[in-house]
Amino acid sequence: LSKLPHGQERTSTHKKAVFISTDYVYKGPYLASSQGDRKKLLYNLYFTRALLTLEQYLKIPDHLRSIIDWHSVIKIDNINEYYLKQKSLGKLSTLESDHEVVTTKIETNIKVLRRGSHINRLIELENDKSNFQNDKKYLCQACLQHFYLRYILNIGDSGTWNILVRRDHNQGICGIDFEEIRSEKSKKTNDPLTMIMSKVSKRQQDLYGSYINDIIIFKNKIDPADELAKILSTSFKIDIDNMNERIEKYANCILKKK
């Protein structure tokens, strides 16, 4: 792992490194001795499965699905560290010009892939509308569908910097970085796009706004006695009452817009 390039520079010490190989991506290390790391590791596993469960329950079409399950958890026994392993969704470049060695306040002499050489984040494509025309229109719809699911689960930061545009055989998207529960402060807005998406710019409003009514949503609250509620609460530690509040809030917001 130490010889693999990083997908990006780490912006803070609490952010985990992402190591890129030809076939897989590794995220970590998560220290067994750290309560915070143990929680983040479990949240990554829980919330990924919760999102997958919701995609299946709502029967989201395949081309709009945005979650890739973790392949496995790797334990480094001698130092008691864990790494999450996932299938690579990009294409690893072997060109030296696509790699650089950087030193930051928290890392020294780290080999990092040039932004966009391996995979693109959706935000990097937003300056050119041609990236979203014709057969690429689904990227906008898939993004909003993903952000809706993150919103009702109250997990992760819903900016398009957390959406990868895949370069493998599946030309869809993949959401990343949902290992944290959001703060209890909810946005006070009557705009459904702003409700589910972080820091919406004028360009993003123009690009994504017309797809808001295409999101597949829950029409009603989840019955706590239903199998779905039991799976989410028991297996993935999701607060069903909190989720139902968000389901209702978003549904009401959409109704007011129609």
Q: Is 21 in contact with 83 (CB distance < 8 Å)?
A: no
Spell out the per-residue pLDDT of the chain, length 258, in tens: 888 999 998 888 888 999 999 999 999 999 999 999 999 999 999 999 999 999 999 999 999 999 999 999 999 989 999 999 999 999 988 787 888 999 988 889 999 999 899 999 999 999 998 889 887 889 999 999 999 999 999 999 899 999 999 998 888 999 999 888 887 666 678 899 999 999 999 999 999 999 999 999 999 999 999 999 999 999 999 999 999 999 999 999 998 876
What is the rounded radius of gyration, in angstroms, for the C-alpha atoms of the chain?
A: 19
Q: What is the pLDDT of residue 148?
A: 98
89 Ramachandran zone, left/alpha/beta (phi>0; psi -120 to 50): alpha
**Beta-strand relationship, 17-20 and 72-76:** unpaired
Q: What is the pLDDT of residue 186?
A: 64
For the chain, the structural domain boundaries read 17-257
Dihedral angle computed from the Cα positions of residues 151, 157, 161 and 162, in that order, rounded to the nearest 10 degrees: -70
Q: What is the pLDDT of residue 258?
A: 65
**Cα–Cα distance between 113 and 22 in angstroms, integer?**
13
For the record, the structure tokens of 54 come out as 């919701």
Q: What is the pLDDT of residue 23?
A: 95
pTM score of the predicted model: 0.94
Q: Is 142 in contact with 51 (CB distance < 8 Å)?
A: no
Q: Is 175 in contact with 66 (CB distance < 8 Å)?
A: yes
CA angle 66, 72, 78 (to 5 degrees): 140
Q: How far is CA 136 from CA 40, 65, 139, in A?
A: 33, 14, 6
**Cα–Cα distance between 48 and 221 in angstroms, integer?**
21
Other CB atoms within a 10 A radius of the CB of residue 99 amount to 16
